[in-house]
Amino acid sequence: IAGITQAPTSQILAAGRRMTLRCTQDMRHNAMYWYRQDLGLGLRLIHYSNTAGTTGKGEVPDGYSVSRANTDDFPLTLASAVPSQTSVYFCASSDSGASGANVLTFGAGSRLTVL
């Protein structure tokens, strides 16, 4: 089934530990995104990539890094996790281009708890 796969589904992590959230898509979408979703707030963009080999910072990039070595994969790394990074993380993808809807397709999410 075409779509986006995220792993892990859920993780409890000690503060200070390093963690990588994995994201893989099989739709050949050029653009990929990482969002975090917190209660009472809208989705906030962490990092994005418009095409393989390029990345950009979103609204809340501090404490996170990404890479885009190929079209399909877009991992998000927390170098040293802090409790404020407790959240639900969604990976998404879309066809790139300045025109048209460019609808986002989301993964199922990764629930991360930092203690």
Stretch touching another protein by CB under 8 A, among 14-22, 64-72, 78-86, 100-108 = 100-108
- Which member of 12, 82, 108, 115 binds another protein (CB under 8 A)? 108
102: left (phi over 0), alpha (psi -120 to 50) or beta: left
Collect all residues with Cβ–Cβ distance below 8 Å to 82 and sequence separation of at least 6: 15, 63, 114
| Closest to 16 in 3D by CA, of 76, 66, 67, 63 | 63
Rounded least distance, CB 16 to another protein, Å: 28
Q: Counting contacts by CB under 8 A, is residue 98 touching another protein? A: yes
Nearest distance, CB of residue 18 and another protein, angstroms = 25
Nearer to another protein, 1 or 40 (CB): 40
Instruction: State CA 70 to chain mean position distance.
Output: 15
The interface region with another protein, picked from 17-25, 40-48, 67-75, 76-84 by CB under 8 A, is 40-48
Strand, helix or coil for residue 34: strand
Q: How many residues bind another protein (CB under 8 A)?
A: 17
By CB under 8 A, residue 21 contacts another protein? no
- The C-alpha angle 26, 86, 30, rounded to 5 degrees, equals 20
Per rule CB under 8 A, is residue 90 in the interface with another protein? yes
